[in-house]
Amino acid sequence: MSESRTELLRGTLDLLILRALTLNRDHGVGIARRIHQISKGTFDVKPGSLFPALHRLEEKGWLSSEWGESENLRRAKYYKLTKAGRKQIQNEMANWERVSTAMTWAIEATSKG
């Protein structure tokens, strides 16, 4: 695996967070680990990006949170998807499909050109 990390495009962090929470609720460190896992190590989300995004998604009504105890017996804020958050995943995924298709066209056009 390459040592360089891929920077997240604006807006993709929201989708990654929502996607990371589709199966279970989790705390911030767990969400960062899950994003690293589902992106096969491509994205390493730092707390300075993750926690503001979690708060923003909660303000939008896509996540809810509650305090609980982590696996190392520390107090942690656990996040879970709301019904609106589950719907938003579909919107975000459709948008990502449009963006990634357009990028593929643009790359193929310039490499053939």
- For residue 101, what is the domain's CATH number? 1.10.10.10
State the average pLDDT over residues 11-39: 95
Is pLDDT of 105 > 80? Answer: yes
**How confident is the model over 31-89, as pLDDT tens digits?**
999 999 999 999 999 999 999 999 999 999 999 999 999 888 899 999 999 999 999 99
The whole-number pLDDT of residue 45 equals 93
Please answer whether residues 79 and 29 qualify as being in contact, where contact means their C-beta atoms are separated by less than 8 angstroms. no
Residue at 76 is within a domain? yes
Residue at 20 is within a domain? yes
**Window from 23-32, 59-68, 91-100 with minimum mean pLDDT:** 91-100
Domain total for the chain? 1
Host H or E run for residue 69: strand 63-69
Please answer whether residues 57 and 85 qualify as being in contact, where contact means their C-beta atoms are separated by less than 8 angstroms. yes
Please answer whether residues 20 and 26 qualify as being in contact, where contact means their C-beta atoms are separated by less than 8 angstroms. yes
Residue at 2 is within a domain? no
Per the structure, the complete domain to which residue 103 belongs is given by: 12-112
Q: What are phi and psi of 106, to 5 degrees?
A: -65, -40
Query: Do you know the residue count of the chain?
Result: 113
